[in-house]
């Protein structure tokens, strides 16, 4: 019965997402681990780590959970010490987030954030410790994603069933703002482990100007993320780049 409900939701929201088809089986698996290098204005400043593991049952359904951690490079911590951690429970049928918690430690700023995503309401309800956990909400044109699920969503699309000029509309949350954007994709070639390999790049129109590149392999290995416009500590940087450092595929299907 629950599976039927999820399929109905997928059909309803699939029309809003430009009829983009999600692969089955998914390219990512339980046990997947990734590490990235972060560059701001071309300078290596830190690392981001991610891994996917199994979550306990929620109302009889098992959902996966993706963990993330961002750290300042060791020799730069005296300038700006960042240790942000978060985790997101997500639905493998739609790739929409269900729940996220984030521990923020950036310089002297510390916070704890809880976020509840409700796809059918196209809403996110979020609570900051620094605001005494008062209830805030945002709504958008499409179900709202966080960064974790936004990248997983693009990795999961069947691009063989899409035209390169087809627009993929999405809504995603950055800090306390919901961005409503469209993406298009193109096939390119990149250098990975000293070899030229085929890749897929999705590019945002508007929003934060996101470019996300993944290898066109069985894992849809993340390769590079770029933000053409990014705000951090009150200043605007025009180039934030995240590149893959290590990738360990998972072993068990989601």
Is residue 105 domain-resident? yes
Q: Which of 125, 124, 144 is nearest to 135 (CA)?
A: 125
> Taking 50 as the threshold, does the pLDDT of residue 2 lie above it?
no
Is residue 41 domain-resident? yes
Q: Determine how many CB atoms are found less than 10 A away from the CB of residue 228.
A: 15
Highest mean pLDDT among 79-83, 113-117, 232-236: 113-117
- Read off the pLDDT of each residue in 33-43 and give the average, rounded to a whole number: 92
Rounded Cα–Cα distance for residues 175 and 128 (Å): 11
> Taking 50 as the threshold, does the pLDDT of residue 154 lie above it?
yes
Is residue 153 domain-resident? yes
Secondary structure E strands in 73-130? 83-90, 97-106, 109-118, 123-128
Q: Which of 123, 128, 76, 75 is nearest to 104 (CA)?
A: 128
What is the value of pTM for the model shown?
0.87
Number of domains in the chain: 1
Rounded Cα–Cα distance for residues 105 and 108 (Å): 7
Is residue 62 domain-resident? yes
- Read off the pLDDT of each residue in 148-167 and give the average, rounded to a whole number: 93
What pairs with residue 54 in β-bridges?
A: 64
Each residue of 218-250: pLDDT tens digit? 999 999 999 876 555 555 655 789 999 999 999
> Taking 70 as the threshold, does the pLDDT of residue 1 lie above it?
no
Q: Which of 199, 183, 203, 179 is nearest to 191 (CA)?
A: 199
Chain centroid to Cα 131, Å, comes to 25
Residue, of 175 and 76, whose pLDDT is higher? 76
Task: Give the domain extent around 137.
Answer: 2-247
pLDDT for the residue 164: 82
Is residue 252 domain-resident? no
> pLDDT over 70 for what percent of the chain?
87
Is residue 128 domain-resident? yes
- Give the total residue count for the chain: 254
- Read off the pLDDT of each residue in 89-97 and give the average, rounded to a whole number: 94
């Amino acid at each position: 019965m629950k599976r039927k409900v999820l399929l109905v939701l997928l059909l309803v929201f699939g029309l809003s997402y430009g009829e983009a088809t999600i692969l089955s089986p998914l390219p990512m698996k339980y046990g997947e681990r990734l590490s990235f290098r972060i560059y701001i204005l071309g300078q290596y400043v830190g690392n981001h780590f991610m891994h996917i593991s199994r979550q306990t049952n929620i109302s009889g359904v098992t959902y996966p959970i993706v963990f993330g951690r961002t750290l300042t490079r060791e020799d730069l911590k005296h300038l700006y010490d960042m240790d942000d951690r978060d985790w997101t429970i997500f639905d493998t049928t739609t790739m929409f987030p269900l729940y996220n918690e984030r521990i923020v430690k950036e310089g002297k700023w510390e916070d704890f954030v809880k976020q509840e995503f409700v796809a059918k309401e196209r809403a996110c309800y979020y609570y900051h410790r620094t605001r005494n956990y008062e209830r805030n909400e945002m709504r958008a044109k499409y179900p709202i994603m966080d960064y974790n699920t936004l990248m997983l969503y693009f990795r999961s699309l069947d691009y063989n069933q899409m035209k390169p000029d087809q627009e993929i509309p999405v809504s995603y949350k950055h800090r306390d703002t919901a961005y409503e954007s469209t993406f298009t994709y193109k096939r390119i070639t990149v250098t990975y482990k000293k070899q030229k390999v085929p890749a897929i790049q999705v590019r945002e129109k508007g929003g934060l100007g996101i470019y996300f590149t993944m290898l066109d392999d069985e894992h849809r290995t993340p390769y590079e993320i770029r933000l053409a416009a990014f705000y951090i500590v009150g200043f605007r940087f025009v180039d934030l780049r995240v590149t893959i450092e290590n990738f360990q595929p998972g072993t068990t299907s989601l």
